[in-house]
């Protein structure tokens, strides 16, 4: 059954002619249809997707050296697509069909990846539970009373339930890694600037980065290879060569120094998470890694700085949604100001409004120095801590999240407790570093636990090969939730 195969395995099967893209794609489209209760997808166009799969099969038969892979993937509804709705989980974009494709979409298309559908997400990627979506919450396939994490919750749930062999998400403060951890998957946030942000609806532009949510590090390498690289349409896109991630996978862990920040093994985190991380670290040691104690003394201030910087950037980025050129416009209004205020009041949900308001406050006259400037200085200190740490180690390891997936509704009335979920992931975005979450076990109630590996700037290959080494000797990443086997 194609859904029991990894993306890389499907790629090999396609290459040897063991299966067609049409067969694979049909199978996943059927599974999406049969599992709508998870609410993982916002839009799917079966006919058009199948036509693309047939086209990929046709090309493969007729052009021997075709790059067209014919592999289906799910795409977070934050990437602009000309053929499907791009709602960003918001009412204000619930009627928006983009006039252009995001660079990520163009690159996937160029390599013959087929978009199975657009996945549900927290509204404008603001959330850690996928409960802020206009289209309703996504359920965690491991336990449908739990959240899948967010903001790329639909992408993670889709891969976890094997409704797609892999998915693309975005990560501003943990939005790829946290849902990957909650859903038992591998989630990679590349270095800032590695993948073009063109056509990716902006939340916090100095933090946002796209990346893959997959079954394995090998699958993540395959997708990163396609998506990474310079794009003149993104002014922060890096004009540096893209390494061969797939051939770097087998570098091994011999003599790799794994830094363990004592701040990340805080006794306040869940005991079962802590114990799974410790067991995983022993496994890394057996594979040749050397554990080194390091310090990230200011990392706990990451959340505080993030909740100034991200909302400040969001308040500016989201000012373009005004009901004039596209998106939702209120039905009745007295004048222009009234039209703006009503369209935005109706179009945005609670969490988005909170962040726009806090961001506007932090940037407003009299508060700028105390909040925004202070946060930017703290950001520098946190980035410097990482630079210091990487003088003593090659990679940093710790838990991805302080707990496993929490119950739906648990943090809804308390935004601050929701924010604290991202305590280990946010500092990485502030510093612009690459990091991966990979599954390393389960708690007593059967919920997955994720380990985070953080690398120096642009060292995605090192992170991927470390994760791959671990996945070659463990099978946590191959577990599928019982109802979706």
Partner 1 sequence: MSISKSDVERVARLARIGIEPHEAERYSIDLSNILTLVEQMNKIDTEGIQPMAHPQDIQLRLRDDEVKEVNKRDQFQAIAPAVKQGLYLVPKVLD
Query: Among all residues, which ones are annotated catalytic?
Result: 76, 151, 175
Smallest gap from Cβ 346 to partner 1, in A, equals: 8
Helix (H) or strand (E) holding 428: helix 426-431
* Residues 6+ away with beta carbon under 8 Å from 270: 402, 403, 404, 443
Neighbours of 246 (CB within 10 A): 16
Contact residue for partner 1 among 96, 135, 284, 470 (CB under 8 A): 96
Q: Pairing relation of β-strands 209-214 and 167-171?
A: antiparallel
Give the three-state DSSP class for 115.
Answer: strand
Contact residue for partner 1 among 166, 183, 303, 393 (CB under 8 A): 303
Smallest gap from Cβ 92 to partner 1, in A, equals: 11
Q: Which is nearer to partner 1, 218 or 322 (CB)?
A: 322
For residue 157, give Cα distances in angstroms to 175, 187, 214, 307, 341.
13, 12, 11, 26, 35
Q: Which range binds partner 1 by CB under 8 A, 14-22, 35-43, 127-135, 424-432?
A: 424-432
Contact residue for partner 1 among 243, 415, 442, 472 (CB under 8 A): 415
Distance between CA 481 and CA 485 in Å, rounded? 7
* Residues 6+ away with beta carbon under 8 Å from 106: none
Of 309-368, which residues contact partner 1 (CB under 8 A)? Answer: 315, 319, 322-329, 333-342, 344-345, 348, 353-354, 356-358, 360-362, 364
Q: Which is nearer to partner 1, 113 or 424 (CB)?
A: 424
Distance between CA 456 and CA 395 in Å, rounded? 7
Q: Is 17 in the site for partner 1 (CB under 8 A)?
A: no
Of 219-238, which residues contact partner 1 (CB under 8 A)? Answer: 232, 235-236, 238
Q: Is 113 in the site for partner 1 (CB under 8 A)?
A: no
Phi, psi of 54, deg, nearest 5: -65, -40
- The angle formed by the CA atoms of residues 198, 340 and 204, to the nearest 5 degrees, is 30
Task: Identify which of 224, 214, 229, 275 has the alpha carbon closest to the alpha carbon of residue 245.
Answer: 224
Q: Is 431 in the site for partner 1 (CB under 8 A)?
A: yes
Q: Which range binds partner 1 by CB under 8 A, 162-170, 179-187, 191-199, 393-401?
A: 191-199
Q: Which is nearer to partner 1, 50 or 301 (CB)?
A: 301
Q: Which is nearer to partner 1, 47 or 332 (CB)?
A: 332
Smallest gap from Cβ 231 to partner 1, in A, equals: 11
Q: How many residues bind partner 1 (CB under 8 A)?
A: 73
Instruction: Look up tokens 């506007």; give the residue.
Output: 360
Phi, psi of 33, deg, nearest 5: -65, -40
Of 374-403, which residues contact partner 1 (CB under 8 A)? Answer: 374-381, 383
Distance between CA 170 and CA 152 in Å, rounded? 7
Write the DSSP symbol of residue 35: T
Q: Pairing relation of β-strands 435-442 and 395-399?
A: unpaired
Q: Is 173 in the site for partner 1 (CB under 8 A)?
A: no
Q: Is 194 in the site for partner 1 (CB under 8 A)?
A: no
Smallest gap from Cβ 462 to partner 1, in A, equals: 18
Smallest gap from Cβ 94 to partner 1, in A, equals: 12
Structure tokens at 473: 């000797």
Smallest gap from Cβ 178 to partner 1, in A, equals: 18
Q: Which is nearer to partner 1, 83 or 111 (CB)?
A: 83
Q: Which is nearer to partner 1, 116 or 426 (CB)?
A: 426
Of 436-475, which residues contact partner 1 (CB under 8 A)? Answer: 457
The sheet carrying 257-261 orders its strands as 41-43, 114-119, 72-76, 167-171, 209-214, 186-189, 435-442, 448-454, 395-399, 257-261, 290-294
- Per-residue binding string, partner 1, 241-270, x by CB under 8 A, is ------------------------------
Smallest gap from Cβ 135 to partner 1, in A, equals: 19
Q: Which is nearer to partner 1, 192 or 203 (CB)?
A: 192
């Amino acid at each position: 059954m194609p859904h029991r195969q990894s993306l890389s395995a499907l790629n090999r099967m396609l290459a040897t002619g063991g299966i067609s893209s049409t067969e694979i794609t049909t199978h996943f489209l059927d599974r999406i249809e049969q599992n709508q209760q998870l609410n993982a997808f916002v839009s799917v166009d079966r006919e058009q997707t199948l036509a693309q799969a047939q086209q990929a099969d046709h090309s493969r038969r007729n052009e021997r050296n075709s790059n067209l892979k014919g592999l289906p993937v799910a795409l977070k509804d934050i990437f602009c697509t000309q053929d499907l709705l791009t709602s960003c989980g918001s009412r204000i974009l619930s009627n928006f069909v983009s006039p252009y494709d995001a660079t990520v979409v163009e690159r996937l298309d160029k390599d013959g990846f087929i978009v199975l559908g657009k996945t549900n997400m927290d509204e404008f990627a603001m959330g850690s539970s996928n409960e802020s979506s206009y289209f309703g919450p996504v359920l965690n396939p491991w336990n449908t009373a739990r959240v899948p994490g967010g903001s790329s919750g639909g992408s993670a749930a889709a891969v976890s339930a094997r409704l797609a062999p892999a998915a693309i998400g975005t990560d501003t403060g943990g939005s790829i890694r946290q849902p990957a951890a909650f859903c038992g998957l591998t989630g990679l946030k590349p270095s800032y600037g590695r993948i073009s942000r063109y056509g990716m609806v902006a939340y916090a532009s100095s933090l946002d980065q796209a990346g893959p949510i997959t079954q394995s590090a090998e699958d993540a390498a395959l997708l990163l290879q396609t998506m990474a690289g310079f794009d003149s349409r993104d002014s922060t896109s890096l004009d540096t060569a893209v390494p061969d991630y797939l051939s770097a996978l087998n570098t091994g862990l011999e003599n790799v120094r794994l830094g363990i920040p004592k701040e990340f093994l805080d006794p306040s985190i869940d005991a079962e998470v802590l114990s799974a991380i410790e067991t995983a670290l022993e496994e890394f040691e057996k594979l040749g890694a050397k554990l080194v104690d390091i310090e990230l003394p200011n990392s706990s201030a990451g959340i505080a700085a993030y909740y100034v910087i991200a909302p400040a950037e969001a308040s500016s980025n989201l000012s373009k949604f005004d009901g004039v050129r596209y998106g939702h416009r209120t039905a009745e209004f007295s004048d222009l100001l009234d039209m703006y205020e009503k369209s935005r009041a109706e179009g945005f949900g609670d969490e988005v409004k909170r962040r726009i308001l806090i961001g506007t406050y932090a940037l407003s006259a009299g508060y700028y120095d105390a909040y925004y400037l202070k946060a930017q200085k703290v950001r520098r200190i946190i980035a410097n801590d990482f630079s210091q740490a990487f003088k003593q180690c090659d990679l940093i390891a710790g838990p991805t999240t302080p707990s496993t997936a929490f119950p739906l509704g648990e943090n809804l009335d308390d935004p601050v407790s929701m924010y604290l979920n991202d305590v280990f992931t946010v500092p990485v975005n502030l510093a612009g570093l690459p990091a991966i979450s990979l599954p390393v076990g389960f708690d007593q109630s059967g919920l997955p636990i994720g380990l985070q590996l953080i690398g120096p700037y642009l060292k995605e290959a090192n992170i991927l090969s470390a994760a791959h080494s671990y996945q070659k000797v463990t099978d946590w990443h191959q577990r599928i939730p019982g109802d979706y086997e």
